Structure 1
């Protein structure tokens, strides 16, 4: 049986001018304030280049996407099975014309480190930079295979 009361489903909801403002402010404090450290960490990694790491039978390969750099901008060091790749680039553009002056400063840097296995030839690591990608090849050391040996108990 149908209800005798009339429902007004299509009637627009009346809201205060400030209701959306306060709702947005409340949402900011409820959501964004607690997630701010996560947002800040993402902003801090904005200059962190993407890395692809792969492995073959003979070598490990580390590829970093770092467009706009030069070979001399990179610093690659190995210390106790840790490879560290860093880069600093500073640009100063100064232009003085009759009607205007233009000065722009740009500074970018990053540092990434990767732990290497103990079975690599650290003396044979090679790096190459081409088309905005830094390719680092880390050859594997030959592993000695132990033969099966029976030990007698005395």
Structure 2
């Protein structure tokens, strides 16, 4: 017995399910994948993914921000909070006798992280490479414990 995969045909007869599932495209890809999420469509910014690794010496933070350049970032520290913001705008226009083509793209995000008291804020380093914004945060040296002092009652 030979098994043959069933190919659902689009009513127009032009598209098979293997090539492009027009019947379920919006249901599966838009609703189930989260593209129809209210935050995505109502102009709110979406927070980029973030990894935080801790070691004895400090923390390493990786923030996924593809498509930006170093100059697009605004990074500040205020009241013990690391504030990361990026904004990029691009527009292109092509004029011809027969048509005008205009394209634009805008993307932005803001992310804030409360820093622990054990971080040396003045030594925070940031580097952007291949779409990943890396931070290196060094910990302060822990104060050495002193032996308890005995006070005699007089």
Alpha-carbon distance in structure 1 between the residues aligned to 2:79 and 2:46: 26
3-state SS in 2 of match to 1:123: helix
Q: Which residue of 2 aligns with 1:147?
A: 146
Q: Which residue of 1 aligns with 2:13?
A: none
Q: Where in structure 1 do 4 or more consecutive aligned residues deviate above 4 Å?
A: 41-46
State the Cα distance separating 1:98 from its structure 2 match: 4.1
- More helix per residue: 1
- The answer to whether the 8 A contact 1:47-1:108 is kept is no
Instruction: Give unmatched runs, 5+ long, in structure 1.
Output: 1-38
Q: Which residue of 1 aligns with 2:100?
A: 101
3-state SS in 2 of match to 1:72: helix
Instruction: Give unmatched runs, 5+ long, in structure 2.
Output: 1-36
Matched, 1:81 2:68: no
Larger radius of gyration: 1
How large is the Cα RMSD of the aligned pairs? 1.9
3-state SS in 2 of match to 1:144: coil
3-state SS in 2 of match to 1:48: coil
Count of residues in Structure 1 that have an aligned counterpart in Structure 2: 116
